[in-house]
Structure 1
Amino acid sequence: MPTISMFYGILIQMYFRDMGRHHLPHIHARYQGQKVALAIEDGAVLEGEFPARQLRMVQVWMDIHRDELLADWELAVNGEDPYKIAPLQ
């Protein structure tokens, strides 16, 4: 699973051809052993739990990079490497 961004100890990843479980464009985030899947469209939690502060940082980052995330999603579901996306600063 490629890591597409990393900031403040949070890894943002996107699986290849990951349509089966959540049926919509989404990312996976990891932080200190916790994992969460978030919908790209609105940042809603699809699965997992995350600390509130880190969850909000990821959702803000997603708002900033929504178009890039959707483009990466298209690449990933077609089995191609997604591009890296700038971290939250």
Structure 2
Amino acid sequence: MSTIEGLGGIVLAYELLVPRLGRSHSAERTSVSLMPEIARFYGIVIRMFLIDREHPPRHIHIKYGDHVAVMELQNLNIIEGQIPKRCRQLVREWAEAHQQELIEMWDSQNFHRIEPLD
């Protein structure tokens, strides 16, 4: 994965996700995209890709160490990838607290930081 960090959590990235995430994210892996970092807590990074608006369902991307996953926002289920159970529980707890805000962010594409889990 190649990334260039910069500008308040916005990351200019290419090959954004490792191939294990499947075909639906091939556009992210092969093109340059902006990926705002929405939150970071306990070593977990939550991002939402600008181009995701074009391919439902609404979702967030989770990175924890070498683990990556995608969580859909309606039912808060992991739909791609794998993360450790405790990480999944923490992200779900955080996402439940901010679910409506995350859905509105997806729909509006107006990205901003969200408070991390305490």
Alignment partner, residue 3 of structure 1: 37
- Determine which of 88, 91, 98 is the counterpart of 1:55: 88
What are the within-5 Å matches in structure 2 for residues 5-84 of structure 1? 5-18=39-52, 19-20=54-55, 23-76=56-109, 81-84=110-113
Q: Once the two structures are superposed, what CA deviation does each residue of 1:17-46 show, in whole Å capped at 9, x if it has no partner?
A: 2133xx211000000011000011111111
Cα distance in 2, alignment partners of residues 39 and 88 from structure 1: 19
Cα distance in 2, alignment partners of residues 83 and 75 from structure 1: 11
Q: Which runs of 5+ in 1 are unaligned?
A: none
2:51 is paired with a residue whose SS is coil
Hey, which bits of structure 1, 4+ residues long, moved more than 6 A?
none
Q: Which has the higher helix share?
A: 2
- Provide the aligned length of Structure 1 versus Structure 2: 83
Cα distance in 2, alignment partners of residues 71 and 86 from structure 1: 16
Q: Point out the structure with max Rg over C-alpha.
A: 2
TM-score w.r.t. the length of structure 2 is 0.67
TM-score w.r.t. the length of structure 1 is 0.88
CA RMSD of aligned residues (A): 1.0
Identity across matched positions, percent: 33
Q: Which has the higher contact order (CA 8 A, sep 6+)?
A: 1
